[in-house]
């Protein structure tokens, strides 16, 4: 079994489900008392959040590189970034570590393609929804088109993530706003919706959604377990 290196803590609220999902996947596959071999480097999210807010992506990249090198020295065989937004620094990180990185958008794209969908909504932080790093990877690798919310909804989702979800606050009013946004994405042509922030599944209720929801954290974690077990390859 390969050792998974996790760059986590962005936020830790969503890193916890990663750890649980990976270990459950290994137990399902191997049974008995088996669990995953994992190294976790958890950052101080305040530092990362400040750099994102200041648009200091070079600094954010360097923080990820530092964590990756620690995981590399610790014996990790490959890396995952337990966050969607920080995949904005994926190219620079990949150039600065010898370890292969399992990209969260690729795992999500595989699931979308398997569902037969061509156009999906994308929810996440403002960076994820507005920049090209995520949408272009889906388009170029799987020919998947994305629909994003109108500005008011984008700002509301971003606020919910940073003011509530990263602090573990799950409010009914925010859940309602999230699902109203999902419905508007469906009206705009989305056949499914990517929960493109690993905190959003903490709030979303799939039973309320008129379209399929793609939990990026679960998809990423399960694929990482499959790679560790040799069932899939990077």
Name the token pair of 136: 């272009």
Q: How many residues does the chain have?
A: 234
Per DSSP, the three-state class of 32 is coil
pLDDT value of position 130: 97
Active site residues: 83, 197
Q: Extract the tokens encoding 179.
A: 């699902």
Q: Give residue 216's pLDDT band: very low, low, confident or very high (50, 70, 90).
A: very high
Q: Which secondary structure element, helix H or strand E, spans residue 193, and what is its range? A: strand 192-195
Q: What is the sign of the dihedral through the CA atoms of 52, 57, 59 and 64?
A: positive
| Residue ranges making up the domain that contains 166 | 105-216
- pLDDT on residue 123: 99
Neighbours of 116 (CB within 10 A): 8
- Find the CATH number of the domain harbouring 11: 3.40.50.1860
How confident is the model at residue 203, as a pLDDT? 97
**39, 110 contact by CB (below 8 A):** no
Confirm whether 233 is domain-assigned. no
Sign of the alpha-carbon torsion through 79, 195, 91, 141: positive
Task: Give the tens place of pLDDT for each residue, 70-81.
Answer: 999 999 999 999
Please check whether residues 19 and 98 belong to one and the same domain: yes
The pLDDT value recorded for residue 234 is 87
Q: DSSP class of residue 226?
A: H
How many whole angstroms separate alpha carbon 106 and alpha carbon 143?
12
The predicted model gives 131-138 an average pLDDT of 96
Looking at the structure of the chain, the number of domains it has is 2
Do residues 18 and 97 both lie within one domain? yes
Average pLDDT score, the chain:
97
């Amino acid at each position: 079994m390969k050792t998974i290196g996790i760059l986590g803590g962005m936020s830790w609220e969503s890193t916890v489900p990663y750890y649980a999902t990976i270990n459950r996947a290994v137990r399902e596959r191997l049974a008995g008392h088996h669990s995953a071999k994992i190294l976790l480097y958890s950052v101080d999210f305040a530092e990362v959040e400040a750099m994102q807010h200041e648009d200091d992506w070079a600094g954010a990249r360097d923080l990820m590189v530092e964590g990756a090198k620690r995981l590399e020295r610790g014996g990790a065989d490959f890396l995952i970034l337990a966050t969607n937004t920080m995949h904005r620094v994926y190219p620079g990180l990949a150039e600065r570590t010898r370890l292969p990185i399992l990209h969260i958008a690729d795992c999500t794209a595989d699931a979308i393609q398997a569902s037969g969908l061509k156009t999906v909504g994308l929810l996440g932080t403002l960076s994820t929804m507005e920049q090209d790093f995520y949408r272009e990877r889906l388009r170029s690798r799987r020919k998947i088109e994305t629909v994003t919310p109108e500005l008011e909804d984008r700002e509301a989702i971003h606020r919910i993530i940073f003011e509530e979800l990263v602090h573990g606050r799950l409010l009914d009013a925010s859940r309602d706003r999230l699902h109203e946004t999902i419905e508007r994405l469906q009206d705009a042509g989305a056949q499914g919706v990517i929960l493109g922030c690993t905190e959003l599944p903490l709030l979303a209720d799939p039973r309320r959604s008129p379209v399929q929801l793609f939990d990026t954290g679960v998809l990423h974690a399960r694929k990482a377990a499959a790679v560790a077990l040799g069932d899939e390859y990077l």
